[in-house]
Structure 1
């Protein structure tokens, strides 16, 4: 049990969390959860050619469908429109399944649809490509990005977002919070029912599990099977964070890394703490693609080009994304994550091999372990 004063503090923190559980670092971008790291040297600017840029300006707008929330995309919108004042970026926020379904419905009826889609559902995005919905666009920035940036034909990663563990510090002090999933599995036996995660039907959870077991193999499944009987399952991050702040949960794992900035910058930092798990920090590529039916195809290409530039990645950092391009100074960037967990504990390399073929097996094995 916790004291009345702590319970009040937890409730207050909960209110903060719920208003921004997918949130940004704020305009200042001042949070520094890790020590300064070497982010490398920025490569030369690789813009679109002048003719394509001129056509983009004539088209005048970009319609983006994305699973990122409004607070995350706001810094990107501001930076893009400042760089290209004649082009308006319109953002519709929805989950990945809604994005793909809405595009299918709108293209079937001839209604204006997305010029660009941004999603973390790997299987959904690959199916979107298979159905011929992605323009075969190769951005000039790709020559200056790692090979894993290219996820599929016409599909590139905007960021490599980590999944983290989050703890209620009033119930598990920082010095006793597990730093790897195996240790959390061990602890979970003493706090049965006070540990949370998200359901495998959530693309974020599936992405976390599939990436983790692709790297860890049977040892990874063993850790998940040890955690499963002691874990309660939620539909998404919102419920997890609320129950953590209220003290119903003491720990949660495979939580979206977008909560990092919130926990660092807001009052919730006194109640909640996140950590990268050194044996289990899956990175989910947040994919972006120009659609085949884009009404503003050149403006869409210009937007993708901006997102992949150093300037665009810097703006994405302010929205809580995890940039990976060299020369981007970001407290939540890939170099900062790697500095904590080590390169060998990051799952990089695009989408896991055979992810579409293996999805049913992974889901079935997870459901059996978690009795779903």
Structure 2
């Protein structure tokens, strides 16, 4: 086991590696990619028609507003621009509320705004749709994808990203790391103040909580009520992971799955370890949509089409996203998660019925449990 002093010495390096988590803003206890699993056979890929592709090339660029950080998007950008030479993918990184507010401000003032938005906030995206901001575009690839890929009119999932638990291995050895939230709730009683999560205002936290309690009901709330008094709450994953690396926290839960790629093969792997939760791993769709006021609507459609192709899903994997399309060999894909937790514990959040109406009650109950 690595000593606490050595863990703290590594924290500075880890903090640099994990800073990117804040922009996304998460086998029990293994910071090694899941062993190769059967990913199935790839379904057909349906490209856009020649006329739309030709118009896209004339438009020459796509402006994307996304909650994914620059490191995550880099492999996607490289692959898309290599496939469609002459079309530039311009990426602006911001959180979901900033995306929706910026779009509203820019459209009101008549300046260039996003061609595509990418967000994790289900309620925010549904409100965005209701305000008439999304082009009702049906990509031809959807016919070959699972039903949960279609989230709302014009809105599709480009990935299904898990929320994970992360441990400081210098403080909680691998063989002592809880593999489910029920066990972590029990452990939290003896390490009060040493467990962390993100605030319910963070889309990842709300998505994790709402998905978990929708599946487990009052039993799920009982676990959260046990965790609440013992848990420190951070605004985002960056602060959460930095404190975990420094030893201020020993464990964290409902952490954005993007940290997997930032831990594995990095200095952080010497002191940090993640696990999928075996009593239910929430999988949150990262949604994409072509905007109604897109300046490059055909280039935007081409980008969404790319994201839903096997090639696009493979590029997303390199950024730490979790592709869901069959035939994509990815250590972070849904088959890899299923190999650990089993199909019954894959909690695909989607856009649950009445989630907009139910959000205030979920937030209020969470705040009571966490003393916020």
The bucket for the TM-score relative to the shorter chain is over 0.9
Structure 2 length normalisation: TM-score?
Answer: 0.95
The ranges of structure 1 where at least 4 consecutive aligned residues each deviate by more than 2 angstroms after the TM superposition are 1-7, 9-23
Residue 233 of structure 1, CA deviation: 0.5
Task: Report the secondary structure of 1:43's partner residue.
Answer: coil
Report if aligned partners of 1:310, 1:328 keep a CA contact under 8 Å in 2.
yes
Counterpart position of 1:115: 115
Counterpart position of 1:9: 10
Partner deviation per Cα, 1:94-145 (whole Å, 9 max, x = no partner): 1100110111111111111111000000000000000000001000000010
TM alignment of 1:18-29, pairs within 5 A: 18=19
Residue 213 of structure 1, CA deviation: 0.8
Task: Report the secondary structure of 1:68's partner residue.
Answer: coil
Cα distance change, pair 349–180 in 1 and its aligned pair in 2 (3 A): closer
Task: Report the secondary structure of 1:282's partner residue.
Answer: strand
Unpaired segments of 5 or more residues in structure 2?
Answer: 25-30
Residue 22 of structure 1, CA deviation: 6.0
Across the aligned residues of Structure 1 and Structure 2, the Cα RMSD in angstroms comes to 1.6
Counterpart position of 1:84: 84
Cα distance change, pair 264–223 in 1 and its aligned pair in 2 (3 A): same
Q: 1:219 aligned to 2:219?
A: yes
Counterpart position of 2:48: 48
Residue 349 of structure 1, CA deviation: 5.9
TM alignment of 1:349-360, pairs within 5 A: 350-360=350-360
Cα distance in 2, alignment partners of residues 4 and 303 from structure 1: 47
Report if aligned partners of 1:37, 1:339 keep a CA contact under 8 Å in 2.
yes
Task: Report the secondary structure of 1:217's partner residue.
Answer: helix
Residue 4 of structure 1, CA deviation: 3.3
Residue 18 of structure 1, CA deviation: 2.8
Counterpart position of 1:341: 341
TM alignment of 1:100-139, pairs within 5 A: 100-139=100-139
Cα distance change, pair 7–88 in 1 and its aligned pair in 2 (3 A): closer
Aligned length: 365
Counterpart position of 2:248: 248
Cα distance in 1, alignment partners of residues 32 and 193 from structure 2: 33
Residue 7 of structure 1, CA deviation: 2.9
Residue 83 of structure 1, CA deviation: 0.5
Report if aligned partners of 2:20, 2:69 keep a CA contact under 8 Å in 1.
no
Cα distance change, pair 20–285 in 1 and its aligned pair in 2 (3 A): closer
**Which stretch shows the higher mean deviation, 349-358 or 166-175?**
349-358
Counterpart position of 2:27: none
Report if aligned partners of 1:214, 1:352 keep a CA contact under 8 Å in 2.
no
Report if aligned partners of 1:65, 1:92 keep a CA contact under 8 Å in 2.
yes
Counterpart position of 1:28: none
**Which stretch shows the higher mean deviation, 87-96 or 343-352?**
343-352
Partner deviation per Cα, 1:28-65 (whole Å, 9 max, x = no partner): xxx95111111111112200111111111111111101
Cα distance change, pair 21–35 in 1 and its aligned pair in 2 (3 A): farther
